[in-house]
Amino acid sequence: MKYFGTDGFRGRANEGLTVDHAFAIGRFVGWYYGLREGRKAKVVIGKDTRRSSYMFEYALGAGLVASGADAYLLHVTTTPSVSYVVRSEDFDCGIMITASHNPYTDNGIKLINSGGYKMEPEVLELIEDYIDGKSEVPLATGEDIGRTIDYVEGRNRYIGFLISSASFSMHGMRIGLDCANGSSTPIAKGVFDALGAKTYVVSNEPNGFNINRGCGSTHIEQLQNLVAEKGLDVGFAYDGDADRCIAVDEHGNVVDGDLIMYACGVYLHKKGQLADDTVVTTVMSNLGLYKALEAAGLRYEQTAVGDKYVSACMVENGYSLGGEQSGHVIFSKYSNTGDGINTSLRIIEAMLGSKKTLSELTEPVKIYPQLLKNVVVADKDAVMADERVKAAVAGVETALEGEGRALVRASGTEPMVRVMVEAATPAICEQYVGEVVRVIESL
């Protein structure tokens, strides 16, 4: 697609993504779900804490209203909360304004369908055609013109849902939270406080420019320091829109999405709640996770990189748990998308239910060193199809003899291919990544 990638329409605010784009998206969506069918559409909008999110919120709202839709404004909230509100309160679709873990200078627009999932590609293609002037939609007039509605109560209902999903008390637990100066700021602490935890929070003072800056799930050091200094039981770090969670155990060790899926997968399996005894991963999950799952008697599926592919596999096969190493973890009982705060609650549930610390829950997983290198190329499709590249990857796989693996994949957004090797030591990773990279560079 021209504008919409794997996670929405992203770009530098008012450069790659402008208010004109936002207005056009609102215009088309309002017409497509409303006037096109002779009715009034209901669309809910959330945003993160970037300064530019204000202008995109109002541009989208203006476009929706001009096309006859009613726009419900959640204001600062998380991506999973928009998904929850859409599917639970009969909205036609949802829009989240965020660039996730990117710096404040970027922003993005994510579209969510009425089921709470990412918008279907065919609808996104129609929106792109409209942005490029290939189609037209009429303006609403008279009584058909829409309105904007302050709908912070929708966010409050989502908070209530999170609290009610926890059938346990956290009384006596000491928990650290890193809100990334982002969307989780008005939500996370209240949830943990309501469940009885003593919370210690950092990066919860957004000013429009500090989202993800040296904090959150992509800068875990701050949370590690907090857990160590305060002697906390566990810590959780979110990204800008809080659809990711990276945890820190009581010793200050990082617990990424792979380790979270293992701990929660084994716990759900013991409770008989892991559908088909299967965890859905992406091809980037660590070999150590797969070996630990097999040792625990669990199966796994692999998808392409991207939580939308994980979600699609889960829906198609009825699986209950899946996610990415980056911290997007989906528990289908509670959400249709990655939800950082919900993931935190499920980790706490596994800890309390198993009467184990997080380090004890993840101890069976022996993570293999992993090295990833990006190679800029003229034609990534040609590289991926080249027999010499395939032979180089196969040669590495053979040499590793089951104690590692090699993977080459094309970037979805840039002119490059990514070469990844997992092996017993960093030196072995470096050796074999170098071999494959040299083949690619010689083409």
| 199-234 b/e (C-beta count within 10 Å ≥ 16 → b) | bbbbbbebeeebbbeebbbbbbebbbebbeeeebbb
Q: Annotated binding site for Mg(2+): which residue ranges?
A: 100, 239, 241, 243
Between helix 152-164 and helix 340-354 the angle, nearest 10°, is: 20
Interatomic CA distance for residues 226 and 298, integer angstroms? 34
Interatomic CA distance for residues 305 and 309, integer angstroms? 7
Q: Residues 6 or more apart from 116 whose CB is under 8 A from it? A: 83, 84, 86, 87, 94, 335, 336, 337
Active site annotation includes 354? no
Q: Which amino acid is at 55?
A: M
Annotated active-site residue in 53, 100, 184, 203: 100
- CB of 377 within 8 A of CB of 415? yes
What value, to the nearest 5°, has the Cα angle with vertex 81 and ends 78 and 85?
A: 145
CA distances from 268 to 15, 147, 272, 408, 424 (A): 46, 45, 6, 33, 30
Interatomic CA distance for residues 409 and 418, integer angstroms? 5
Using alpha carbons, select from 402, 182, 208, 217 the residue that is nearest to residue 291: 402
Interatomic CA distance for residues 273 and 156, integer angstroms? 28
- CB of 119 within 8 A of CB of 93? yes
| Residue where the block lists tokens 């990006």 | 374
- Catalytically annotated residues: 100
